[in-house]
Structure 1
Amino acid sequence: MSTFIRDYIEREKINRRNFLLASAAGLTATAVPGLFGQGQARAALTDPAIAWSFRDKASAYWNAIYGGGEAFVESIGKPKEFLVALINEGSSEKSLADIKAFLAKNNGNCAIACDANDSPNARPVVEAVQQAGAYISTIWNKTDDLHPWDFGDNYVSHMTWSDEKPAEETARILFDAMGGKGGVVHVGGIPANNPAIERLQGLKNALADYPDITLLDAQPADWDTTKGAELMASFLTRYGDEIKGVHCANDNMAYGVLEALKAEGITDMPVVAYDGNPEAVQLIMDGQLLATVFTNPHWGGGITAALAYNAAIGKFKPSEEPHEHREFYGPTVMVTAKDAADFKAKYLDATPTYDWNDYWGPSNGPIQYK
């Protein structure tokens, strides 16, 4: 196996250590009170500052998200450094504090793209942006009762991915590789994350058609490689040979799972993942992963920034758009051994060129609530 997994784990440890040291020293961003606006969208902002608020740069997925944002910024004639990275390191408290500080620093003259880290954090983030008179587009995490159209133009849009069906498809690929019988474990994301919930539900949906497959356990590893390795090691201690397959809610955790399996001398355990990161695609080509699901983070990162910025400068008025343009699904592509090489050539070895004014072209329709 490539050494990139071990290197990846070490980078995560260093990033976490640096964040904790900064927090202890009081260096994390805090809001400056009294500088916000009156909670009304301005007719149009002039040269607004742009930020992307996301989890970390150790992940290929989030690097691709941010890279899409940089591509959009360059498309409007600005250097990519104009895009500010607000990295929350998996902390919802830091996510909110950093956004409030960014709003205060720029007196609300802002356009923000954001993953709120967990669903409950989305509302205070959006409320802070509206109060400042700024604009925000979000991805992945929000509660079902939070809608952009309830915030006028300030909350421009929300995009998520319909993870349940793709996760069900990866589960079926996994179960077939297991011969339709045996025990499976699920390595999950942050419990309050919408994608973590949907990806586990997709696994459970597939189980209904495989009566000889038993779900032995499903526990969170918080999207983290190191935690994924630790959880898999604990699963092996508890269940041993009963485990015949592993369903991972993202690629990063799958890397840790593979390391834990390798440490026990297990090299033939079928494992599926999610996100379509370059390393995961290579592992599929090398025969170490069965499948992953690509959500086109480059496009998602760029179009989310484009929506927030172009609404802020008055290029379009969100409140005049239909609901399906304000809450919508992003695209997904299943990647397996039979198509991994073609996928890599199209999406990873080269970056497709996107029209950042085509806000909804590759999207997959309005969000459906159950």
Structure 2
Amino acid sequence: MFKPSVLLLTVAAITTSVNAAEEVNVYSYRAPFLIQPMFDQFTQKTGVKVNVVYADKGLLERLQNEGQNSPADLIMTVDIGVVHDVKTRGLSQPVTSELLEQNIPQHFQDPDNHWFALTSRARLIYASKDRVQQGEITSYEQLADPKWQGRICTRSGKHNYNLGLIGSMISHHGEAEAEQWLTGVKANLARRPEGNDRAQIRAIAEGQCDLAIGNSYYFFKMLNNQENPEEIEWAKQVTPIAPNQQDRGTHMNISGISLAKYAPHKDNAIKLMEFLSQDEAQHMYADLNQEFPVKAGVQRSELLQSYLGDFKQDELPLVKIAETREAASKLVDKVGFDN
């Protein structure tokens, strides 16, 4: 059976009566409320119990330390960099599945089938409704324009989400031009990078800056946050912008899943992977989490669609962005972005 460790934040309690042998063990960086409904539905349909360890750090190190004795069947992560790390550290194994190949676009999966995206999210520009005119900014490149000096907020340049964006700039423009761009963005910061993506939206609402960079699903979950009405008011004061619609499209990142190298319940693990890639689970991701489904033909949430419509997405293979992460991190240090 699956035994929790000191890294355990929450163990999913699944009440469905099942045979103890019919189970699958998941190590997850994703928070419980984002994925537990899908696991419950999977158990209801298949009778396979999903045991989960949730943690915000240390899971890959745990896997390494456990080695062949690890009980983990699946690793769920956010951000292409972390997904890629699972493979490069030798913690995953390839999956042969026609269903996964069919459901998930090629640029959202590993060429060697070590990881697959389950959802995507856009790295948006947020603009003050009062202080930024419609159409005044339409691309990531324009964030370096001196007209925005002292008007931009963002979280740390070293955060995985920003490293992904910087990595995409390196992939599209080359390292030298990306450095010039990042230097320009730094010069335009209204404050030292701090907080999370929601904090950047709040900073615009409070007048600390006029533009910010943030993931799409944070904004849409803020608009629905009945437990904290302040977040609703903050979100209503900004306009979400999907950049680069006239050229390559908006940078996208993912949540992903990998089959653990020594998965003891491999068949059940692949069964869960396939379930999460199909229409029912993809609809749940869209409606409950305000994330973008990766399976073609699955509708986005009405709220998300009403704000962004059918915008153009950058289809650069994410593995290329993952491979630039080290260079992106060095650029952040080189330009002193977080100083």
- What is the TM-score normalised by the length of structure 1? 0.40
Higher relative contact order (CA 8 A, sep 6+): 2
